Amino acid sequence: MKNIDSYTHLRGESLFVDDMSVTHDTLFGLTFDSPKAHGKIVSVDYSKAEQVSGVVRIFTYKDVPGVNQIGGIIPDEPLWAEDEVHFWGQPIAFIVAESEVIAKKARLLIEIEIAELPVITTAKEAKAKGSFINAPRSFEMGDTQKSFANCEHIFEGETFSNGQEHLYLETQGCYAVPLENGNIKITSSTQGPTFVQKITAQVLGVAMHKIEVDVIRLGGGFGGKEDQATPWAVMAAVAVSHLKKPVKYILNRHDDLRMTGKRHPYESFYKIGLDEDLKIQAFEVEFLQNSGAAADLSPAIAERTLFHATNSYFIPNVATTVISCKTNLPPNTAFRGFGGPQGMFVIESAIARVAHELGIDKSVLQEKNLLQENDQFSYGQIATQVEAKNSWNSVKQNFEYDILKAKVAQFNIENELFKKGISLMPITFGISFTNTPMNHARALVHIYQDGSVGVSTGAVEMGQSVNTKMLQVAAHTLGIAPEKVKLESTNTTRVANTSPTAASATADLNGKAVQKACNALIGRLTTVASNMLNVAESEIRFVDNVVKVDSEELTWEEIVAQAMLERVALTENAHYATPIIHFDKTKEKGHPFAYHVYGTALTEVTVDCLRGTYEIDAVSIVHDFGNSMNIGIDIGQVEGALAQGIGWMTMEEIAYGTDGRLLSNALSTYKVPDVFSAPKKINVRPLTTGGHDLAILKSKAVGEPPLMYGIGAYFAIQEAVIAFNSNYKPKFHSPFTPEKVLKGLYE
């Protein structure tokens, strides 16, 4: 089945916030943000801006009716700065005008004086100065110190992975409309409608039921709209509450790039120990997370870094610590993988380092240490239904790794100015919000009297095709054609108290709720049909829009019509909460994940050793989809995530000045993968498995895990650089831009 949005997407007819028709009295918002990264606000003069014709009002923290606070996990972030600014781009005021052009004109006339304070831009500096978000977290298993004493090989090193801009095609935005009695309806481009609702209510000092949040769909979120879609919606709502007029606010790309947080850069320090058989015995890491100026989701992201610090390997002695360092950058936030990729880059670097020092093939070390059935993770969960070796072996066989390796060696002998490199990258990713209480969802299913069906869930469609999957679940469970089912917008009045669409778990959580609701409806319709046909309920099956018993046949519509006459409820609301999972934060042990997703990628690159440029020749992947319910969509997720992962590891270079100003503030200075830099070939093969019971229809979560296949590109490029220049000392400093490659080639 195709993505249900493909027809309207292709024709440009799909609706996003900015496509909504607005009323004639709609006003337009624009943020005035800090032009310095750290300092005391001495004065702000709005008078000239206020005099611009068409400017309606400029809002600041003084206009907040409730609390000037938007922090999700820790209340450490004001909606609008009060007397201090903590990052370049921090919102200070909100200009509301008759048009965006007028608001922009007014913004230029605001005069601000800031007494500057020292600026911290790196995690290391923050650590040295004791600038932290919260207390560090540590996971431990076994005894690393004891184990190191018995290790044959021990290496210590440092790695760096840079941030990453989400670059959702649709920038942040919202449209807030006043309803009667002070109620407000907000259409928001958010992954977290309930978070927008809750924070808006808090800032306005009203009950949550006064705020309705509706989400049509997102033009991409990638984590960037999990928490950071909120401030704009809240600003617009504050303006609405004062002006009693609709307010629309769509960020332009420049403002969005400057004001929003990104993937967290990490500086990490590791120590790895192996025995004489090259089994990794001990692994210690200190992760320094560059959190930015406020917590946002940093503590949760830090936690996931610890969960994925050993990737697909079994290591008996582990001691990992993560420190969320407070800097003067925009608060960094969720980004596909949610701290997992940063953790996995470190273990892969450590293994590559050992391989380089000992002069052995990295893949030999990787293979020796792959996770096996019943191995334990550092957080206590026992690995079951492990596919690490299966996907690894499958890639090697299907894509003829040994032959490729020989060909690459031959190529490198024959070519002086071009070198090839290959790498294998296994992934293991835990599915569930790491915060157990967030793993729940609800669905509301209506069967209308004509037999058509409307489904509402807490899932937000952001291009990952979750709506298509929800529709499939409903159609499959009800035994009707997909055309009979419609997916409604995501709305807090229909489905309340939702967790954000995140953690790759949306289809599982919401899908299980849809399934439950549809099963309840089928239960009631079975009674109706069994009476109509005068047969036992056990003989009733809803398949392809009909119930057939012997030669008698009832259509879905006939049964629904009869149910109406019998006053049978044709609406069902169901709740699902993941069973089994638990986690004890005092011990840092438990069973936090419903299951893990596995896979392995084989990456092949060619480096131009004159220019330092490179091409990704091919990426071949064997991925554990479980029993995929929609292989087209799932392969699309793998391809997209892979491109995004390669971008993070190779070319996307976020740069801030030492003054905290974003230098890579446009697409002319920030390079994202395009059709030329994408792999020339991407082969994705599903691993044959039975799937997992906690996955919807046994079809495993797919959104984030494949991003980490992109890490393979870093190491393949490194292999090629070493093939050209044996003096090169691996840096483990991503992204591996052509500039760094060139320097490395001639080091």
502 touches ligand MOS by CB under 6 A: yes
CA distance 514 to 523: 14
Closest approach, Cβ 490 to ligand HPA, in A, equals 17
CA distance 127 to 112: 31
Measured at CB, which residue is nearest to ligand HPA?
A: 503
Q: 142 is written with which tokens?
A: 């076994």
Burial class (CB within 10 angstroms; exposed 0-12, middle 13-18, buried 19+) of 91:
buried
CA distance 377 to 142: 11
Q: 544 is written with which tokens?
A: 């392809």
304 touches ligand HPA by CB under 6 A: yes
594 touches ligand MOS by CB under 6 A: no
Q: Which residues have a Cβ under 8 Å from the Cβ of 413 and sit 6 or more positions away?
A: none
Q: Which C-beta is closer to ligand MOS: that of 234 or that of 502?
A: 502
Closest approach, Cβ 433 to ligand HPA, in A, equals 4
CA distance 535 to 553: 12
Q: What angle do CA 611, 614, 617 make, to 5 degrees?
A: 150
Binding to ligand MOS (CB under 6 A) within 697-716 occurs at 704
Which of helix, strand or coil describes residue 695?
coil
Q: Which C-beta is closer to ligand MTE: that of 503 or that of 713?
A: 503
Active site residue 704: yes
Per the CB < 8 A criterion, the answer to whether 444 and 456 are in contact is yes
222 touches ligand MTE by CB under 6 A: yes
In degrees rounded to 5, what are phi and psi of residue 556? Answer: -55, -45
193 touches ligand MOS by CB under 6 A: no
Binding to ligand MOS (CB under 6 A) within 322-341 occurs at 334-336, 338
| Among 314, 338, 556, 732, interactor with ligand HPA by CB under 6 A | 338
Q: Which C-beta is closer to ligand HPA: that of 91 or that of 221?
A: 221
- Residue 189: name its binding partner from ligand HPA, ligand MTE, ligand MOS, none (Cβ under 5 to 8 Å by kind): none
Distance of CA 172 to the CA centre of its chain: 16
312 touches ligand MTE by CB under 6 A: no
Which of helix, strand or coil describes residue 58?
strand
Q: Which C-beta is closer to ligand MTE: that of 198 or that of 225?
A: 225
Total residues belonging to the chain: 747
CA distance 641 to 222: 10
| Among 29, 89, 193, 223, interactor with ligand MOS by CB under 6 A | 223
| Among 195, 433, 593, 736, interactor with ligand HPA by CB under 6 A | 433
742 touches ligand HPA by CB under 6 A: no
Q: Regarding beta strands 280-292 and 317-326, do their DSSP bridges make them parallel or antiparallel, or are they unpaired?
A: parallel
- Among all chains, which residue has been given the structure tokens 């020292």? 118
Q: Which of 579, 693, 683 is nearest to 626 (CA)?
A: 693
Q: Which stretch binds ligand HPA (CB under 6 A): 410-418, 433-441, 508-516, 739-747?
A: 433-441
Binding to ligand MTE (CB under 6 A) within 172-211 occurs at none
In degrees rounded to 5, what are phi and psi of residue 299? Answer: -60, -40
Closest approach, Cβ 458 to ligand MTE, in A, equals 11
Distance of CA 496 to the CA centre of its chain: 22
Site pattern 494..523 for ligand MTE (x: CB under 6 A): -------xxxxxxx----------------
Closest approach, Cβ 701 to ligand MOS, in A, equals 10
Q: Which stretch binds ligand HPA (CB under 6 A): 147-155, 248-256, 383-391, 431-439?
A: 431-439
212 touches ligand MTE by CB under 6 A: no
Q: Which of 698, 569, 560 is nearest to 629 (CA)?
A: 698
Closest approach, Cβ 545 to ligand MOS, in A, equals 36
Q: Which residues have a Cβ under 8 Å from the Cβ of 386 and sit 6 or more positions away?
A: 371, 372, 373, 375, 596, 598
DSSP state of 89: T
| Among 37, 64, 151, 300, interactor with ligand HPA by CB under 6 A | 300
| Among 81, 282, 297, 466, interactor with ligand MTE by CB under 6 A | 466
Which of 286, 604, 652, 704 is catalytic? The answer is: 704
In degrees rounded to 5, what are phi and psi of residue 484? Answer: -80, -10
Site pattern 518..537 for ligand MOS (x: CB under 6 A): --------------------
Per the CB < 8 A criterion, the answer to whether 202 and 238 are in contact is no
CA distance 366 to 361: 9
Which of helix, strand or coil describes residue 710?
helix
CA distance 261 to 71: 14
Q: Which C-beta is closer to ligand MTE: that of 68 or that of 161?
A: 161
CA distance 668 to 681: 27
Q: Which C-beta is closer to ligand HPA: that of 304 or that of 362?
A: 304
- Residue 435: name its binding partner from ligand HPA, ligand MTE, ligand MOS, none (Cβ under 5 to 8 Å by kind): ligand HPA
Closest approach, Cβ 706 to ligand MOS, in A, equals 13
Q: 301 is written with which tokens?
A: 């992201």
- Residue 463: name its binding partner from ligand MTE, ligand MOS, ligand HPA, none (Cβ under 5 to 8 Å by kind): ligand MTE
Which of helix, strand or coil describes residue 253?
helix
Q: Which C-beta is closer to ligand MOS: that of 226 or that of 719?
A: 226
- Residue 300: name its binding partner from ligand HPA, ligand MTE, ligand MOS, none (Cβ under 5 to 8 Å by kind): ligand HPA
Q: How far is CA 546 from CA 131, 454, 533, 635, 668, in A?
A: 65, 19, 12, 32, 57
Closest approach, Cβ 286 to ligand MOS, in A, equals 23
Q: Which of 489, 493, 480, 485 is nearest to 456 (CA)?
A: 489
Closest approach, Cβ 122 to ligand MOS, in A, equals 23
To which H or E segment does residue 39 belong?
strand 39-45
Q: Which C-beta is closer to ligand MTE: that of 312 or that of 333?
A: 333
318 touches ligand MTE by CB under 6 A: no
CA distance 55 to 241: 17
Q: Which C-beta is closer to ligand HPA: that of 408 or that of 438?
A: 438
CA distance 32 to 587: 45
Q: How far is CA 410 from CA 112, 364, 573, 604, 663, in A?
A: 64, 20, 63, 14, 42
Closest approach, Cβ 304 to ligand HPA, in A, equals 5
Q: Which stretch binds ligand HPA (CB under 6 A): 99-107, 352-360, 428-436, 695-703?
A: 428-436
Per the CB < 8 A criterion, the answer to whether 643 and 673 are in contact is yes
Site pattern 502..541 for ligand HPA (x: CB under 6 A): xx--------------------------------------
CA distance 286 to 289: 10
166 touches ligand HPA by CB under 6 A: no
Site pattern 692..721 for ligand MTE (x: CB under 6 A): ---------x-xx-----------------
What residues line the site for ligand MTE (CB under 6 A)?
220-223, 336, 462-464, 466, 501-507, 637, 640, 701, 703-704
Residues known to be catalytic: 704
What residues line the site for ligand HPA (CB under 6 A)?
226, 297, 300, 304, 334, 338, 433-435, 438, 502-503
What residues line the site for ligand MOS (CB under 6 A)?
191, 223, 226, 334-336, 338, 502-503, 704
